[in-house]
Structure 1
Amino acid sequence: MNKVKCECGHVNPFGTVLCESCGKPVEENDDQKGLLNMRYEGVARRSQTYTTTFIDKIWMFFSSVKVGIWIIVLTLVASIFGTIFPQEMYIPSNVRPETHYAEEYGVLGQIYYQLGFHNLYGSWWYMALIAALGVSLIICSLDRVVPLYRALKTQRVTRHENFLKRQRLFGTSNVNNVDGVLETVKARLEEKKYKVREENGNLLAEKGRFSRWGPYVNHIGLIIFLMGCMFRFFPGMYVDENMWIREGEVMVVPGTNSKYYLGNESFTLELYDEEDELFAEAIERAGGAVAKNYETEAVLYERDPGATVGATSELQEVARHNIRVNDPLSYEGLSIYQIDYKLHEFSVMSFTLNKKETGESLGQIDVDLNNPEDEYDLGNGAKVILREYFPDYELNEQNVPSTRSRVPDNPGFIFEMITPETPEGEISFVAVQQNLEPLGENQYEMKFADLETTHVTGLTVRKDYTLPFLFVGGFIFMVGLIQGSYWAHRRVWLQRVNGEVWIAGHTNKNWSSLHKEIDEAIAETGLGSPSDQLEEKEKNSEREKKLGKDKGGTNE
């Protein structure tokens, strides 16, 4: 679009309301009586200038403050719904989310799950809202800050007469020694920390321009903060997961892409002495033993990038630490905390294969409950095949054996027993205090022989590379908030016009303070105090209304 050349010679972008240099209103039919709208210095904003193409319409949409506010409202409402019931990450790991919400919270819980609120903060549409908010902040800022910066940088000291007399603070005076008066006013304004520029005997005093950038600094801080929030859903950037590891076990650390493994060499639990009078009352209130300390002797291993995933023989030790509560194992941004423990978890169950009639044993099998074998050979033609294994046995709604979780809290087995006398095999279901023969009476049985237990430690793994973004974004936001809240952009123009001295002032807030500073600067110089044209307009309007009421009352 064609640019607009002002009578002062400055070429303005199309859509400019006030000349960036002299301040003269560009539109010929502009209301010459009203005060100027100085919100953005009358600059040409792209969203109000280019409105035809598809990209222009997208820019217009996201540059709207109303749109930004609505995006914030929708994000806040969605976040509120996400807190009605616990998120999926906080429900027990051994239950199915689709049944947990319905059973715990009824119909509302079922609707909550079906609408996807159970995993709200990781959902694609919530991330889309965050991204839309970020785009809105970026476009809103660029649409305003770039032309505003150009206009403030281009502004001349000598401004158009129509620009001056349409400022909110404006006044004219006649003095004899103009040069001396202006020098006095200039010195006083400089004492008040104004930066004074001079041109053709005219003055422009300005201070606090940096406060105009406060909202945009806020936007930068928010954008960085939102980036940190979104980075939490990038692999490797944020980890907050739990792991349960048994004594003597080495397992992969969650959220590390199989790069790190953790070994639990031993678990130690210390209890308060029940005979100690100092703790007797507290132990009695607790109803049993109270843990004094529990810790895990842990070893962190790193897998060679070229090694086979899961091959523990190719791991290299990188850290060793006794993990206690509030004393984690930390390594290269990874922290592993002690949070819980479980004593005497079932580890190995032993059974003997016996002939029911005579009680004769054909041998013993030891079933590792965490990694059972498919077949156990007892020799002499006898073997036991593990057909089904249910670590945490239960009967489901269809009355079929199933498992609640992979933790061996209530193990159940379906064995096929093969002996020289029963080469076709016999089926037996064995669980805690249960020994069933679902296909008819058997000649042989699996009889419980022994049980081994182990201690399990509960750890939480945390890694957060997004914290620097959150801290930096929050800090920048606070800087912008302070910058825009505690300072104001103030300008005072003193200009010679037809033998008079015109004074005009503008600020983005706290007009009474600016008026006071101008009065102090021109005190005892012969210059008259500028009037607040907005206040005078309001007073005149009230006076006219009152006069109209009085006339109406007289006519009646």
Structure 2
Amino acid sequence: MRRLAGWLSDLRVAIVLLLLIALASAVGTGIPQGDPPASYVEAYGDTPWLGLLNGEQVLQLQLDHVYSSGWFLALLAWLGLALILCSWRRQWPALQAARRWIDYRTPRQLSKLAIAESRPCPDPAASLERLRAVLSARGWQLQPGDQRLAARKGVAGRVGPLLVHTGMVLLMLGAVWGALAGNRLERFLAPERSLDLLARNGDNQLTITLQNFQVERDTAGRPEQFRSDLLLEGPGERLEREISVNHPLRHRGITIYQADWSLAAIDLQIGGSPVLQLPLQTFPQLGDQVWGIVLPTRPDGTAPVLLSLESEQGPVQVFGENGERIALLRPGGPAEEVRGLPLRVASVLPASGLLLKRDPGVPLVYLGFAVTLLGGGLSLVATRQLWAIADDGQLHVGGLCNRNLAAFAQELPGLLAEAQQG
């Protein structure tokens, strides 16, 4: 059992696990997560991912949901167990040893330490007392004895590795909790449309209404920023908030992200008819961001034309059955005759792509980050130990340090010189 625990807590095993988790995270970033299974079969059917995996293999290896897959959670559990065992077998005993006073009684014992020095003194007892005063003034903890002295400083540095391991375990627990108990919902909303979120008992928990949506573009017409004005209504509350890319909204455990944009509908006036609002659909065969609608120009439904556009600003291109462009319409512009039928585009209605996430593990993840950062800072603190013995006209001094021993070796002669001059 001890051999197994030693292997599990080995640093090399932990490094391999970290590399595997990093590689898995890279795969999860490269492959879209949470899409319908059919989309992977279609996307990687003719062109396998990285030339290695087709859609069926992606699904079999659970690469469509890496962060909640069984093998990824097993890696996290293994790494967490390794950190706990390492803390229990190594870091905790090191902290206990640093807190335990060691009483060296003879100069011979001090001579075996990493740093050792002996200096002749007319009055070793007085020099020892002055050294005690110097160390006390510099914040050292002291344990005086009969003609000897033990001192230590920076014991908090031994707590650092324990806190780092604790923080990483908290991070992984938060990630696992979020992957297993979290929820994710992505919807496109047009202005004045609402989305109802229900509680587990079926009651209406929150209603999200899109009041306004704006697409900010550069001088070349490329999207730069998306902004959504939201109205949140729930039991006893009514809030108005704005979200944009990289500026989400967090409310009652739900995070609302501005994730994407789309075109929802087009307002058309056909001849002398009132303005009709017709839904738009995507045409991926024409491009990544092309929306349109097929519209018949005869009462019997024949002679259809395709109206396509790439942004809410237009223009709206009109194509005939043979793919030839026959008209170009501007939103808000005048009507154009299309096969004897006057068509006017009054406006185009954009839709905001909202991503809603409920991740109960977020507070634990933040706590893990804080504990890890605190532990990393404390780990930089060097733990120093010093012993001094006054004996036969000499002051014998020895010391240990777990970090930057050279600096401690340079500091020690200064401490002794100050003690002797005092």
For normalisation by structure 2, the TM-score amounts to 0.67
> Does residue 1:101 correspond to 2:44, yes or no?
yes
Residue 200 (structure 1) aligns with = 146
Residue by residue, what CA displacement relative to the aligned partner does 1:452-501 show, whole Å, maximum 9, x if unpaired?
x998654321334433222222222222222222x211122112456653
Residue 409 (structure 2) aligns with = 515
| Partners of 1:87 and 1:120 within 8 A in 2 | no
| Partners of 1:165 and 1:504 within 8 A in 2 | yes
Counterpart secondary structure, 2:31 = coil
Residue 263 (structure 2) aligns with = 342
Distance 1:269-1:186 versus aligned 2 partners, 3 A rule: closer
> Does residue 1:233 correspond to 2:179, yes or no?
yes
Q: CA deviation at 1:95?
A: 5.2
Amino acid across the alignment from 2:357: R
What CA distance in whole angstroms lies between the structure 2 residues aligned with 1:131 and 1:101?
Answer: 31
Query: How large is the Cα RMSD of the aligned pairs?
Result: 4.5
Distance 1:99-1:482 versus aligned 2 partners, 3 A rule: same
What CA distance in whole angstroms lies between the structure 2 residues aligned with 1:524 and 1:321?
Answer: 67
| Partners of 2:111 and 2:398 within 8 A in 1 | yes
Which ranges of structure 2 fall in alignment gaps of 5 or more residues? Answer: 268-278, 284-291, 295-300, 305-347
Higher relative contact order (CA 8 A, sep 6+): 2
Q: CA deviation at 1:345?
A: 7.9
Counterpart secondary structure, 1:139 = helix
Counterpart secondary structure, 1:82 = helix
1:493 to 361, 369, 387: 387
Residue 156 (structure 1) aligns with = 102
Distance 1:100-1:506 versus aligned 2 partners, 3 A rule: same
Distance 1:75-1:471 versus aligned 2 partners, 3 A rule: same
Q: CA deviation at 1:175?
A: 3.2
| Partners of 1:243 and 1:254 within 8 A in 2 | no
Distance 1:526-1:227 versus aligned 2 partners, 3 A rule: same
Residue 84 (structure 2) aligns with = 138
What CA distance in whole angstroms lies between the structure 2 residues aligned with 1:72 and 1:328?
Answer: 30
What CA distance in whole angstroms lies between the structure 2 residues aligned with 1:336 and 1:504?
Answer: 60
What CA distance in whole angstroms lies between the structure 1 residues aligned with 2:154 and 2:16?
Answer: 32
> Does residue 1:165 correspond to 2:111, yes or no?
yes
Task: Map 1:62-461 onto structure 2 (within 5 A).
Answer: 62-83=8-29, 85-89=30-34, 96-105=39-48, 107-110=51-54, 111-159=57-105, 163-235=109-181, 238-244=182-188, 252-253=196-197, 260=204, 282=219, 285-286=220-221, 300=233, 318-319=237-238, 321=240, 325=244, 331-337=251-257, 339-344=260-265, 458-461=353-356
Distance 1:465-1:161 versus aligned 2 partners, 3 A rule: same
Q: CA deviation at 1:519?
A: 1.0
Distance 1:432-1:297 versus aligned 2 partners, 3 A rule: farther
* Percent identical: 19
Q: CA deviation at 1:163?
A: 3.7
Residue 481 (structure 1) aligns with = 376
What CA distance in whole angstroms lies between the structure 1 residues aligned with 2:358 and 2:96?
Answer: 44
Larger Rg: 1
What CA distance in whole angstroms lies between the structure 1 residues aligned with 2:228 and 2:379?
Answer: 51
What CA distance in whole angstroms lies between the structure 2 residues aligned with 1:512 and 1:130?
Answer: 38
Residue by residue, what CA displacement relative to the aligned partner does 1:28-82 show, whole Å, maximum 9, x if unpaired?
xxxxxxxxxxxxxxxxxxxxxxxxxx4x344223222222222212222322333
Amino acid across the alignment from 2:91: V
| Partners of 1:170 and 1:503 within 8 A in 2 | yes
| Partners of 1:194 and 1:207 within 8 A in 2 | yes
Distance 1:299-1:494 versus aligned 2 partners, 3 A rule: closer
Q: CA deviation at 1:231?
A: 1.8
Q: Report the more deviating stretch, 134-143 or 94-103.
A: 94-103
Distance 1:265-1:139 versus aligned 2 partners, 3 A rule: closer
Counterpart secondary structure, 1:233 = helix
What CA distance in whole angstroms lies between the structure 1 residues aligned with 2:140 and 2:226?
Answer: 64
Residue 415 (structure 1) aligns with = none
What CA distance in whole angstroms lies between the structure 2 residues aligned with 1:140 and 1:257?
Answer: 44
Q: CA deviation at 1:323?
A: 6.2
Which ranges of structure 1 fall in alignment gaps of 5 or more residues? Answer: 1-53, 273-278, 302-315, 347-368, 370-390, 394-407, 411-429, 434-452, 528-556
Q: CA deviation at 1:503?
A: 1.6
Amino acid across the alignment from 1:478: L
Counterpart secondary structure, 1:523 = helix
Amino acid across the alignment from 1:155: W
| Partners of 2:107 and 2:389 within 8 A in 1 | no
Amino acid across the alignment from 1:210: A
Distance 1:524-1:119 versus aligned 2 partners, 3 A rule: closer
Distance 1:266-1:99 versus aligned 2 partners, 3 A rule: closer
Counterpart secondary structure, 2:45 = helix
Amino acid across the alignment from 2:186: N
Distance 1:203-1:103 versus aligned 2 partners, 3 A rule: same
What CA distance in whole angstroms lies between the structure 1 residues aligned with 2:354 and 2:48?
Answer: 29
Distance 1:152-1:249 versus aligned 2 partners, 3 A rule: closer
| Partners of 1:300 and 1:318 within 8 A in 2 | yes
| Partners of 2:106 and 2:389 within 8 A in 1 | no
What CA distance in whole angstroms lies between the structure 1 residues aligned with 2:377 and 2:109?
Answer: 31
What CA distance in whole angstroms lies between the structure 1 residues aligned with 2:215 and 2:66?
Answer: 41
What CA distance in whole angstroms lies between the structure 1 residues aligned with 2:376 and 2:150?
Answer: 27
Q: CA deviation at 1:130?
A: 1.0
What CA distance in whole angstroms lies between the structure 2 residues aligned with 1:244 and 1:511?
Answer: 61
| Partners of 1:267 and 1:296 within 8 A in 2 | yes
Distance 1:321-1:195 versus aligned 2 partners, 3 A rule: closer
